[in-house]
Amino acid sequence: MHPEKIALTQTVQKGGCAAKVAAAELRRILQQVSFPVAHPALMVDGRYFDDAAIYKISETTALVQTLDFFTPIVDTPKLFGAIAAANAISDVYAMGGRPATAMGILAFPLTMLPEHVIVDVLQGASDKIAEAGANFVGGHSIDDDTLKFGLSVTGFVHPQQVWTNTGARAGDHLILTKPLGTGTMTAGVKRQQLGEEDIIEALDSMMAINNVIDYIPPGLLASVHAATDITGFGFSGHAMQLANASNATFHIETGSLPRFNNVFHCLENGFLTRAHRTNAEYTTPHIDDSKLDTWHKLLIHDPQTSGGLLLSVAPDASQALIQALCSQFRSAALVGTVQPRQDKVVYFA
């Protein structure tokens, strides 16, 4: 037992993927930067807001590179480390790859938090990296005013089996693998209106790695045409980016979106983050959510941390894929379809 119990969420202003720079602000910043001319081996860069970069090494191997870090989203250090690791590793899975190595990114207030806190954060991350079959190979740390942790992850994928944001096809079915609602539920913890024991289902979901490849039969892998993971920009933002990159329109059955049991209770109690507003501002010109009530609108904009994968799959394989995925992802559900490009990028029914 550690003698000091510290609520990590009370040491920072905002936590998890809700702490991301607002998508509209990020786009404005990036538009002002001149990037190097891409090397011919660079298959995927940040142009379409994909989850990771892909660099072709040979005809059979491509490198997957990503990084992700954030401030504490939960109070328990070991849980924070595990969630941060699962969230970062997810980007490799979202590209159809497998993680190989992970390096830690750590900012730690040496004079404010005891040593056991960071030991537990690193142990939680190390355990999750091992679960993913990857190697924890080092990293970099600085003394900072607030705790921040994440990973730079490298993986591999066959160049012809990469999942990107540009691959969704008209007629495809859309599958979401995890429930929505981590943003509002962890906001309740941040406000000290909920304890971690009240959001166990969300904690379990955030700690679950998005290794869908091991649960999809090899013969069905080619049926997955595109993928992204749902994180800080909410379901609305990431679905919009995927549809836009594919020059398609998504029709979403909002009632089919899986959600945690207490999500609407949390939203009704006003457990919101800045990202609920900025995600709505980012997506509103490009989506149609006019048929939704207040709570479903907030749900689609809810910033997820270590959320599920949104898969665009061949329609004749969708039921078999859901059945295969449900052995590990119990909430996996068919949530919509891909249509030819229309006036709006995403329609919510």
pLDDT digits (tens, 9 = 90+) for 183-209: 999 999 999 999 999 999 999 999 999
Residue 255, CA distances (Å) to 297, 304, 344 in order: 11, 18, 20
Q: Which of 348, 75, 302 is nearest to 194 (CA)?
A: 75
CATH architecture, range 8-161: 2-Layer Sandwich (3.30)
What's the CA gap between 127 and 147, in Å, rounded?
A: 20
- Residue range(s) in the chain whose domain bears CATH number 3.30.1330.10: 8-161
Rg of the chain (C-alpha set): 19
Find all residues with CB under 8 Å of 241, minimum gap 6, and list them: 48, 49, 165, 228, 233
Structure tokens of 333?
């559900």
What's the CA gap between 239 and 235, in Å, rounded?
A: 6
Report pTM. Answer: 0.93
Q: Is 266 a catalytic residue?
A: no
- Residue range(s) in the chain whose domain bears CATH number 3.90.650.10: 173-348
Scanning 263-333, the segments in alpha helix (DSSP H) are 263-268, 274-283, 294-301, 318-325
Residue 135, CA distances (Å) to 51, 119, 206 in order: 20, 18, 20
Task: Look at residue 309 in the predicted model and tell me its pLDDT.
Answer: 98
Phi, psi of 326 (to 5 degrees): -65, -15
Task: Look at residue 98 in the predicted model and tell me its pLDDT.
Answer: 97
Task: Look at residue 18 in the predicted model and tell me its pLDDT.
Answer: 61
Q: Active-site residue among 6, 8, 17, 230?
A: 17
**CATH T-level topology, domain 173-348:** Phosphoribosyl-aminoimidazole Synthetase; Chain A, domain 2 (3.90.650)
In the predicted model, residues of the chain with pLDDT beneath 70 are 1-4, 13-20
User: Would you say how long the chain is, in residues?
Assistant: 349
Task: Look at residue 264 in the predicted model and tell me its pLDDT.
Answer: 96
Task: Look at residue 4 in the predicted model and tell me its pLDDT.
Answer: 61
Task: Look at residue 345 in the predicted model and tell me its pLDDT.
Answer: 98
